[in-house]
A and B are shown apart, each in its own frame.
Chain A
């Protein structure tokens, strides 16, 4: 840290456990529309990384193509970023995290990027349980091409042009649970508290975190008749359980009633505390999670919260049994076998 000889005129700026200020987590100025839900999500990512004391240089931020995928430029300027091709961020993230599994990966996608062109890669990412925080900034429309429906638009939802969507929405959360993701939740860009808790828990998780964050598009999908508008989401949100989070470095023992709260110990020792709002809901039960999601859909409600968590299943990196150091920087003597190995192989082909 820079020091000066003069006495500070203002109180020392607030820092996190690494001694970094919130400003160290900021990115470039956003070029998205004013009021876009995506900007609020970028803010929460900054808050979560700052509060969790993640060093920005230890983060990989990745995205596909679309409005959502522009947003990694707008947070964590000190982290390497990769804006890849449409719908194919999962494969780039997979390669990058295999090359250096010591990094924290965060991938930002949109509903078009995930649920249409990228559905194949999305499915296989969930299946592998790669340690990656995968965020869908979900607004139900294509923004950069000016307002066509995406595959997460609900049946009956209306475009500004009056066109009604007649195809069922792809339920990315139910899919993610089914396919093997080990942390699946939905939040709303307008719900600061819930989203921040979920992001912090996501940072603590070892495996694929799939967060579907409803993030209204103020330009193309925030009108009467839309099911992804601020108003509609506020009116139809149904939380499955309040999300609390106690990081491993906070030495606070929080009392809770096991009758009303689910406590999940995370990989890094943090605790995820889920207050039961739906009677008998068990976030470690896949079948129950999918059932709750489908029932909410039938009721026309937007279910939010952490639907499913499995803090024990080995991640893709664990199952590959990789050397602990990053593969990317292993020295030559670790990756080029000695001369006698070649001699032995040549001998076998004589």
Chain B
């Protein structure tokens, strides 16, 4: 019989043997504050099992997050899923693994060796991983036997086996069976047969663990009340929802990881909620031949008055460069979601990074600069999607939403999204009646002093409505020009328009006490790790920090005020070259620049708090 070979000084069961002399005998129960990592093979169907685990913990009221660390591959390469339960509500990746479920023979040894002392490992008994670590609690499980007993159909066993580990984990860490069953039934809501099969597998694992394993690790879950009324959703679905409620009408795309699910989810929502009673669609979706065509369609549609968007990632951004310059210069609205992944070039397509900041900020040749928004949660993926469509039309320019793989493809807890309170803002569009009154208009003239001109939509029934849109030199009437003064007039207004944008984009979020000398600046998915790191810095080093979370480019004046009010500013970001720091340097007065320091991580894993804390402590010399 298999036993739980414990890392605790005091065996929890008679059959357990203590093998970890290094462990203190007083190891306490660790409740609702640990991580689980499931190591499997890509294509083995572990996604449902991991989702059941995540949602079971969530339905116990415990704050939880899940991250899929997957390869760029259809089947066969190693993949990991990490789940973090945190009573404190920390949802960033935890660097250390506490409970390992090793299902992949190929990586079993390495997975085992990477564990910290005192952790626990569940594995197929044939792998005999115990041999590699004496300071880890080992739980060997005869997965194939257990699976065969509940799944007569041999070809389904590969999938069902995953549910067996769900049962084993549930019993060992204390997921209540009711939560688990609810999650399984919801996961397979449309397939009752599959639900029964999978539920039997969970039970088999659970019963095996109850009868044959002796709990000897310190990790336990206990019900809380912290997730009531919360939702679980991924950032790409959230962005898709935002786009739908923003009233998107033309959607174009070229599939690319990790952005594809933005449009795939959006198509699902649009087909369900944006078809008239007579079956007619109030939207058009086009899968384009490449990203150049995708963004060309977005700009053509925006020009003709649609709310248009595309979603892409780094390589697509590079391809869109020429068109985005046209969008900037000809002043065409459009929304581009960039779900960032690791570059340069093809890079690591299934790993996360904040590496497109500089290329997006100044995308295209000549003098160009672009507005981008930086969501840091699924809720902001939703809100900023709505915001981006309003800004694109108000500013008449392409607007980017810079999310990333971690935010976009992983599941996050959130409070439910709020229905938009503001009406859709279509910006400065002149109608036939306006033209009757005005007699005509100049497309690129600054009438209101905010550097934002007026436009007309094609089809406006007035002989003076038309103007010519071009990427070649043009004057304020839109006429072709090669005259220096006329060209400069338009370009200078575009620069002023960018300044107008500073006051229109989402302002930064500030957390400060007014006393701290150290300020942190971060953005996007780094926010989760930075918030946790601030607690670590305070608790472990007595260092109080203020925090400014950037939410958009161009920077609003709060950024300068924050930098000016602190002695040292740490800019925390997920790329090699400190791209956000560079953007800040270009924007801040020279006297502030010496304050700026950098904490960077660019390994492609979601950022964790320990990495931030370590990087900062080193530079602070504390």
Contacts and interface: CB of A to CB of B under 8 A. Distances in A.
B299 A92 contact: yes
Given A98-B286, A349-B231, A322 B420 contact: no
Contacts of B252: 95
Interface in B431-486: 456-463, 465-472, 480
A127 B528 CA distance: 46
Given A91-B288, A95-B306, A330 B249 contact: yes
A112 B240 CA distance: 38
Given A85-B326, A85-B471, A327-B283, A93 B300 contact: yes
Which interface class (under 10, 10 to 19, 20 to 34, 35 or more) fits A?
Answer: 35 or more
A336 interface: yes
Interface stretch (B8-16, B289-297, B395-403, B506-514): B289-297
Contact of B244 (A73, A92, A337): A337
User: In terms of DSSP, what is the predominant structure of the interface of chain A?
Assistant: helix
Nearest to B322: A85
Interface in A8-46: 24
Interface string A288-327: 0000000000000000000000000000000011111011
A53 B500 CA distance: 44
A100 B288 CA distance: 18
A269 interface: no
A328 B469 contact: no
A57 B245 contact: no
A103 interface: yes
A85 B323 contact: yes
A102 B296 contact: no
B203 to A, nearest CB: 25
A121 interface: yes
B308 interface: yes
B419 to A, nearest CB: 5
Given A99-B305, A328-B306, A335-B307, A322 B300 contact: no
Which interface class (under 10, 10 to 19, 20 to 34, 35 or more) fits B?
Answer: 35 or more
Contact of A121 (B247, B289, B326, B468): B289
B325 to A, nearest CB: 9
Contact of A95 (B231, B301, B416): B301
A214 to B, nearest CB: 26
A83 B290 contact: no
Contact of B420 (A56, A91, A336): A336
Contacts of B617: none
A329 B420 CA distance: 20
A78 B471 CA distance: 20
Nearest to B432: A57
A342 B458 contact: no
A168 interface: no
Contacts of A330: 247, 249, 282
Nearest to B456: A80
A57 B296 contact: no
Contact of B300 (A77, A82, A323, A326): A82
A78 to B, nearest CB: 5
Contacts of B467: 80-81
Interface in B237-253: 241, 244-250, 252
B362 interface: no
A161 interface: no
Interface in A154-197: none
Contacts of A82: 300, 303, 468-470
Interface stretch (B80-88, B157-165, B272-280, B566-574): B272-280
Contact of A332 (B247, B290, B457): B247
B458 A103 contact: yes
A339 interface: yes
Contact of A94 (B230, B282, B286): B286
B39 interface: no
Nearest to A326: B459
A341 interface: yes
Interface string B406-419: 00000000001101
B286 A336 contact: no
B303 A96 contact: yes
Contacts of A100: 304-306, 457-459
A326 B286 contact: no
B469 A339 contact: no
A90 interface: yes
Nearest to B270: A337
Contacts of A97: 300, 304
Contacts of A78: 463, 466
A277 to B, nearest CB: 37
B457 A57 contact: no
Contacts of B456: 80
A33 to B, nearest CB: 17
A347 to B, nearest CB: 9
A346 interface: yes
A320 B283 CA distance: 9
Nearest to B323: A85
Contacts of A320: 281, 284
Contact of A327 (B279, B282, B465): B282
Contacts of A98: 250, 284, 286, 297, 301, 306
13 contacts: A56-B466, A80-B458, A81-B466, A85-B326, A91-B297, A93-B300, A95-B298, A98-B301, A326-B305, A330-B247, A335-B424, A341-B273, A342-B419
Interface of B: 229-233, 241, 244-250, 252, 269, 273-274, 276, 279-284, 286, 288-290, 292-308, 322-323, 326, 416-417, 419-420, 423-424, 456-463, 465-472, 480
Interface of A: 24, 56-58, 60, 62, 72-73, 77-85, 88, 90-100, 102-103, 120-121, 123-124, 320-324, 326-330, 332, 334-337, 339, 341-342, 345-346, 349-350
